[in-house]
Amino acid sequence: MYKNLIRPLLFLLEPENAHRFAARSIKVINCLPGFHWVAKKMFNTDTPNSGIEHCGLPFRNRVGLAAGFDKNADLYKDFALFGFSFIEIGTVTPLPQPGNPKPRLFRIKKDRAMVNRMGFNNGGVLEAAERLKGSHKVLIGGNIGKNKVTPNEEAESDYLYCLRELYPYVDYFVVNVSSPNTFGLRRLQSRQALTALLRHVEAERRSISISPDRKVPVLVKLSPDLTDQELDDALDAILSAGVEGVIATNTTIRRDSLKSPKASEDGGLSGAPLRTRSTQVVRKIYARTNGRLPIVGVGGVMNPAGAQEKLDAGAALVQLFSGLVYGGPGVVQKILKAL
């Protein structure tokens, strides 16, 4: 029904408007009597814990929702109904910011892809923290970044502020240093800059830990556009800092073999064209770290084959973004049944 009816209707709207409309619709449907029972039957949301554990966390299954869908932590309860084991909110920044000028989100339908130059548009970390108070039926990741006006030399203060404010409410953190849509941000992936940033993050985490029994894991999200040497440098910084894992990968600025003229839009490309490159990065990280570093594979996971490819390359978990846009919520169960 999604591909034949719902998706064609959504695709009549501009992408950002479609996202807002879909989010409102899901919230309305979620309030209907009996819908939770229907969702459990349709999406198998009551699947018991499968014994999957990574970064000290118990995952019900291997499929999560990537950052970007729920920027302000106002949809995670609704998306949890689709069977995701973990949902990543954000990217959030210390201060609210509008992001880049519109239009800034584009469908590349011929290539089953998206291009975005959103620019960390969000309501600020305090708004997200308020919405995350209380218990969750799904693991929550907090994807954190810096405000556009904060120079890289002062970026650590933004990441540490977000870490402090979200620490009581999330199950893991993602240090986003790889979005192509905030000027200069990806320079923080250099060995020197990332080493310094992660040392501050680790020190702050130790100082604010609520109890000795609860150490919230930290992962780093890397770009698919790093050279082999740059990737090695980033991994050296990650391993030396002692953080728990890597998310591979963010969106790409490359435009290889795309069919649609809209692909020339500036911003980060996600979806099917990113699948091969993202998997290559997962495989390199796994080999470079001898499998010691848990990897979340994201990029071109559009179907069960894409998810299995990431897991075969060394990923422990996978995330969806464009796959949800093109495949609808049922794609989660299709992947889970095939794994």
Question: Which domains, from first to last, does the chain contain?
Answer: 2-338 (3.20.20.70)
pLDDT grade for 50, boundaries at 50, 70 and 90 = low
Average pLDDT along the chain: 93
Which residues, listed in sequence order, are joined to residue 297 by a DSSP beta bridge? Answer: 248, 318
As a whole number of angstroms, the distance between CA 90 and CA 174 comes to: 9
pLDDT value at position 77?
A: 92
Q: 134 — phi, psi (to 5°)? A: 105, 180
As a whole number of angstroms, the distance between CA 79 and CA 83 comes to: 8
pLDDT value at position 210?
A: 66
For residue 32, the one-letter residue type is: L
Beta strand extents in 218-266 (DSSP E only): 218-222, 245-248
User: How many CB atoms are located within 10 Å of the residue 247 CB?
Assistant: 29
Residue 1 above 90 pLDDT? no
pLDDT value at position 297?
A: 98
- Segment 115-153, tens digit of pLDDT: 999 999 999 999 999 999 988 889 999 999 999 999 999
Which residues, listed in sequence order, are joined to residue 139 by a DSSP beta bridge? Answer: 86
Element of type H or E holding 241 = helix 228-241
User: How many CB atoms are located within 10 Å of the residue 327 CB?
Assistant: 20
Residue 201 above 60 pLDDT? yes
105-108 sheet: strands from edge to edge: 105-108, 113-116, 268-271
pTM score of the predicted model: 0.95
Active-site choice (179, 223, 270, 322): 179
Q: Please name which of 60, 115, 111, 116 lies closest in space to residue 302, comparing C-alpha atoms.
A: 111
pLDDT value at position 32?
A: 79
Residue 48 above 60 pLDDT? no
- Segment 67-116, tens digit of pLDDT: 999 999 999 999 998 999 999 999 999 999 999 999 999 999 999 999 99
Which residues, listed in sequence order, are joined to residue 252 by a DSSP beta bridge? Answer: 269
List Cα–Cα distances, 17 to 104, 105, 248, in angstroms: 12, 10, 28
Beta strand extents in 177-280 (DSSP E only): 218-222, 245-248, 268-271
As a whole number of angstroms, the distance between CA 91 and CA 261 comes to: 28
Q: 224 — phi, psi (to 5°)? A: -80, -5
As a whole number of angstroms, the distance between CA 270 and CA 112 comes to: 9
- Segment 302-329, tens digit of pLDDT: 999 999 999 999 999 999 999 999 999 9
What percent of the chain lies above the pLDDT cut of 90? 81
pLDDT value at position 178?
A: 98
Which residues, listed in sequence order, are joined to residue 288 by a DSSP beta bridge? Answer: none
- Segment 151-176, tens digit of pLDDT: 999 999 999 999 999 999 999 999 99
Q: Please name which of 155, 149, 224 lies closest in space to residue 192, comparing C-alpha atoms.
A: 155
As a whole number of angstroms, the distance between CA 179 and CA 44 comes to: 33
Active site residue 179: yes
Length of the chain: 339
